[in-house]
């Protein structure tokens, strides 16, 4: 697997340090909501599994974890083919504060779609937290409250992000060699 990676953009240590910072920021934000408020962490499957696992362990609050599946990059696609929700939206959203967690903000269609659906379902507030955001106009223009790293507009893998379902278990964020694609 390492042989397919051309170069590392973000190391394990950099990811861990940044997630600790995000945890501190989010804990303060949740504190400000008050003790009676219900918080739901909503990772978007599948790319966010590793990020959310590390992030929620930095949170001091009692939170509910729910999941939603969105597909936008079927198979070997390397650009968004338009986001769609697979299966059900989570239940019991009304009156709750929702933190949407995703691996990467690219075209912005995924986060925008989920935010719309959650507000339509009566969420009290919706905030988004992504590990990565590509430095491209569409991503920068998308409403997103928390961003781990801004990265160049390139296709990346590792730490949950896949190419054709592979490389999710690569522990750092890297760029594939052209011959691996
Ligand atoms: P968006 O809807 O275009 O913002 O895309 C978000 C989704 O596309 C992410 O949740 C990822 O699953 C996928 N994605 C976007 N860019 C990349 C990438 O560089 N590598 C792997 N997956 C990506
Ligand atoms: Mg995804």
66 Cα: distance to centroid of ligand 2 (angstroms): 15
Our mutation pick for probing the ligand 1 site, out of 104, 133, 137, 153, counting the most ligand atoms within 8 A of Cβ, is 104
34 Cα: distance to centroid of ligand 2 (angstroms): 31
How far are the Cα atoms of 71, 140, 152, 166, 175 from residue 44, in angstroms, in the given order?
9, 19, 22, 18, 22
| Exposure string for 54-65, b = 16+ CB within 10 A, e = fewer | bbbebbeeebee
Indicate if ligand 1 lies below 6 Å from the C-beta of 159: no
Indicate if ligand 1 lies below 6 Å from the C-beta of 103: yes
Tell me: pLDDT of 101 over 90. Answer: yes
pLDDT in tens, 44-74: 999 999 999 999 999 999 999 999 999 886 6
pLDDT in tens, 125-171: 999 999 999 999 999 999 999 999 999 999 999 999 999 999 999 99
Tell me: pLDDT of 97 over 80. Answer: yes
How far are the Cα atoms of 7, 59, 63, 148 from residue 78, in angstroms, in the given order?
18, 33, 34, 22
Nearest atom in ligand 1 to the alpha carbon of residue 163 is: 21
Q: State mean pLDDT over 20-44.
A: 97
pLDDT at 83: 87
Our mutation pick for probing the ligand 1 site, out of 52, 109, 152, 161, counting the most ligand atoms within 8 A of Cβ, is 161
Q: Which residues pair with 64 in a beta bridge?
A: 40
Are the CB atoms for 103 and 168 separated by under 8 Å? Answer: no
Predicted TM-score of the model (pTM)? 0.96
Nearest atom in ligand 1 to the alpha carbon of residue 139 is: 4
Catalytic residues: 106
pLDDT at 75: 72
């Amino acid at each position: 697997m390492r042989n397919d990676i051309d170069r590392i953009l973000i190391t394990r240590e950099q990811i861990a340090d940044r997630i600790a910072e995000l945890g501190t920021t989010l804990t303060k934000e949740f504190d400000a909501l008050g003790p009676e408020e219900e918080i739901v962490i909503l990772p978007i499957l599948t790319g966010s599994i590793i990020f959310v696992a590390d992030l929620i362990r930095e949170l001091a609050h009692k939170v509910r974890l729910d999941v939603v599946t969105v597909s936008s990059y079927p198979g070997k696609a390397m650009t968004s083919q338009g986001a769609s929700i697979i299966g059900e939206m989570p239940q019991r959203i009304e009156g709750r504060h929702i933190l949407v967690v995703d691996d990467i903000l690219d075209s912005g269609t995924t986060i925008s779609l989920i935010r719309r659906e959650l507000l339509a379902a009566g969420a009290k507030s919706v905030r988004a937290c992504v590990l990565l955001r590509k430095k491209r106009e569409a991503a920068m223009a998308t409403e997103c409250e928390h961003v781990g790293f801004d990265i160049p507009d390139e296709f990346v893998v590792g730490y949950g992000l896949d190419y054709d379902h592979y490389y999710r278990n690569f522990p750092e964020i890297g760029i594939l060699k052209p011959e691996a694609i």
